[in-house]
Chains A and B, each alone.
Chain A
Amino acid sequence: MVAPPRKSNRGLVGRLLLMVAGSFAFGFALVPLYDVFCEVTGIGTRAQLNRASAPDASAPDMSRVVTVEFTASVPDSGPWEFAPVVASMEVHPGRLYEARYSAHNLTGRDTTGQAVPSITPLRAAQYFRKTECFCFTPQRFTRDEKRDLRVRFIVDRDLPRGIDRLTLSYAFYDVARLAGGKG
């Protein structure tokens, strides 16, 4: 049997293997690329949603009222009470407001909670600026402790006219419970 020419194959095989490696790396690159995409389309990355913004120096828009709703969930995280103190607020874009969430640790032990924010509609996320929030910061709770968690925000004056209502939602997780989970 005639063996196929080895030398001329090696270069091509090498280049193809590089393509494979590049492809594999691309798969992992999709993780940060996802954030880039969210930033570019204005949905807002995790970092953006969590970052505290500087207070807006310009005057609030008194001619416009936007309803901001607050809601909370505790996905699969055991006995916690976590709810907004006030269900909604009528706000003027450009003015600073404060909202509070009440959290009560009923798990029967000291533990740590962490809240993940979400803004709907997607388009509004980049116009909802939090100057102070408890997003993603681990919150230590002793057994049976109940306290309020504070978020201060400004709805940007540039919020598109078509949006008259937006919702800030927190998903509250018990990180100690998660760490003790699978694996």
Chain B
Amino acid sequence: MRPDEVTNMAHGNAAAGYGDHHGPPKGVMRWLTTTNHKDIGTMYLVFSLTMFLIGGLFAMLIRAELFQPGLQLFNPGFYNQLTTMHALIMVFGAVMPATVGLANWMVPLQIGAADMALPRMNLFSFWLLFFAFMLLISTLFVPGGAPAAGWTLYPPLVLQTGNAFPMAVFAIHLMGASSIMGAINIIVTIVNMRTPGMTLLKMPLFSWSWLITAYLLIAVMPVFAGGVTMLLTDYYFHTSFFNAAGGGDPVLFQHVFWFFGHPEVYIMILPAFGIISEIIPTFSRKPIFGYEAMVYAIASIGFLSFIVWAHHMFTVGMPLAGQLFFTLSTMLIAVPTGVKIFNWTATMWRGSISFEPPMLFALAFLFLFTIGGFSGLMVAIVPADFQYHDTYFVVAHFHYVLVPGAVFAIMAAVYYWLPKWTGHMYDMTIAKWHFWLTAIFVNVLFFPQHFLGLAGMQRRIPDYPTQFTDWNMVSSIGGFGFGLSQLLFVWLIIRCVKGGERATAGVWDWPHGLEWTVPSPAPYHTFEKAPELH
């Protein structure tokens, strides 16, 4: 669709009277009762930003303790609560709800549907998540404190958790149910409600990424639920799933957890891939290179993610054949991932590139996620992994793929679609300051952790031998800088919601996709009549 066609369509829509006749209800009741995908998307996004700041606060506390050797701030038990909660909040409270929020806002708009397939279940999913997190965060204040066994919850250690244990398990069940319902909603919406003429292979890549992600969620979230249920019965009802005394095996939990856990990390990154596939074409002013290959790549990454899980467990004492198999399967996942990176680069090739904030974040993703990919290749290979496992090298790897990976993609998406949501352009200067400070500090924060891991610093410790001081100090400075820079992001969003230069329907110079054919801000109800595809 050419840019001028987009603008014409937007005017056409407005002229035909698809704007608001009646606004949504005012006040708190609006947010408690809305079944509108845009409102629910907004709620998920606001929730996720809040959780990002809370999880980020925990990270700042962690880096503050690690700034110098010796224990200055926390006793070790509480420190373990901080690391556990930081991860649980970031994974389940920040990244996943953000991508769900983006899906809620954008999938119906991208496929030309009036709303999600199951709007009331959509609302229920959100509030379930909200309640789950209130429960999880409240564990910090009960006797024994929050869970402190790592977000991976390995028994027998996790069975030493105090009163927080059933609360955490219940919170996980609720949060899992919320995700599963959301995933069902997305699949049904995409499968049943695409506008006529939009075959699957004409669907935007962000929606494609969510179709695959939703199937992954349905396949593995219930396994996680089963695993924590087994923990619960071991804790209270003398089952022995993971207790050697009764014939069980702690390693069984690791298998169950990582069978969920590995697809889980792809659940976090696939929507990010989808976002990048939207943004790079827009700011290169040409369509994505190799659309079908991108679809097959995402689908094969989704499939392969099921057969690599034991690479998180190489040191448990695994048969040789198992170690070799999982090394090989993990290496193979790099192939479709590489294809995507090459296709994004090829999209820029012989394009006409401009560097607005969404593109800045997308390009930073391209570089820095790839670095995370390289460290991932290294940890995939036993026996080298015997030296990397449970060290800061792994911490560096997954933070590179998650922070300048998933989080940057989410920020890029916000910068990309915020004018569509609010109707206002945001302050470009603040946005660019936010970008540069974030991009620099994220590297100061995480790059030295590669060195720390290689030099022998293990994970999940509040204090360390003095030879690790210098890189820890650098990393902590990076952490404080990174954390403070996010305040710019919050401020920018608040200001943009309140006002700013009016945004057009197309917003950017070269928009593509149905979402750019409706006015900005997008009317409360859109595509009540299925749009025609050109």
A pairs with B: yes
Whether B245 is near chain A, meaning CB under 8 Å from some CB there, is: yes
CB nearest neighbor in B for A174: B245
Tell me, in angstroms, the Cα distance from A21 to B168 when the chains sit together.
Answer: 22
Closest chain-A Cβ to B157's Cβ sits at a distance in Å of 13
Instruction: Chain B residues near A30: list those with CB within 8 A.
Output: 223, 226, 252, 255-256, 259
Closest chain-A Cβ to B486's Cβ sits at a distance in Å of 35
Tell me, in angstroms, the Cα distance from A69 to B378 when the chains sit together.
Answer: 37
What string of 1s and 0s marks CB contacts (under 8 Å) between B82-124 and chain A? 0000000000000000000000000000000111111100000
- Which parts of A1-16 form the interface with B (CB within 8 Å)? 1-2, 4-5, 8-9, 12-13, 16
What string of 1s and 0s marks CB contacts (under 8 Å) between A7-41 and chain B? 01100110011011101101110110010000001
B321 touches A41 (CB 8 A): yes
A183 touches B237 (CB 8 A): yes
Instruction: Chain B residues near A173: list those with CB within 8 A.
Output: 244-245
Whether A146 is near chain B, meaning CB under 8 Å from some CB there, is: no
Closest chain-B Cβ to A59's Cβ sits at a distance in Å of 31
Instruction: Chain A residues near B219: list those with CB within 8 A.
Output: 19, 23
Instruction: Chain A residues near B478: list those with CB within 8 A.
Output: none
A179 touches B238 (CB 8 A): yes
Across the interface, B252 reaches (CB within 8 A) one of A4, A17, A31, namely A31
A13-B184, A13-B188, A23-B219 are contacts. A4–B193 as well, Cβ < 8 Å? yes
Instruction: Chain B residues near A31: list those with CB within 8 A.
Output: 230, 241, 252
Whether A122 is near chain B, meaning CB under 8 Å from some CB there, is: yes
CB nearest neighbor in A for B220: A23
What string of 1s and 0s marks CB contacts (under 8 Å) between B207-240 and chain A? 0000000000011111111110010000111100
Instruction: Chain A residues near B245: list those with CB within 8 A.
Output: 75, 114, 116, 171, 173, 175, 178
Instruction: Chain A residues near B180: list those with CB within 8 A.
Output: 20
Tell me, in angstroms, the Cα distance from A43 to B251 when the chains sit together.
Answer: 14
A5-B192, A9-B192, A179-B238 are contacts. A46–B247 as well, Cβ < 8 Å? yes
Q: How many interface residues does A have (CB within 8 Å)?
A: 38
A1-B528, A23-B219, A171-B244 are contacts. A122–B322 as well, Cβ < 8 Å? no
Whether B143 is near chain A, meaning CB under 8 Å from some CB there, is: no
Closest chain-B Cβ to A51's Cβ sits at a distance in Å of 13
Whether B319 is near chain A, meaning CB under 8 Å from some CB there, is: yes
B-contacting residues of A (Cβ < 8 Å)?
A: 1-2, 4-5, 8-9, 12-13, 16-17, 19-21, 23-24, 26-28, 30-31, 34, 41-43, 46, 75, 114, 116, 122-123, 136, 171, 173, 175, 178-179, 182-183
Q: Closest 3 CB pairs between A and B?
A: A27-B226, A24-B222, A23-B222
A-contacting residues of B (Cβ < 8 Å)?
A: 113-119, 159, 180, 183-184, 187-188, 191-193, 218-227, 230, 235-238, 241, 244-247, 249, 252, 255-256, 259-260, 317, 319, 321-322, 525, 528-529
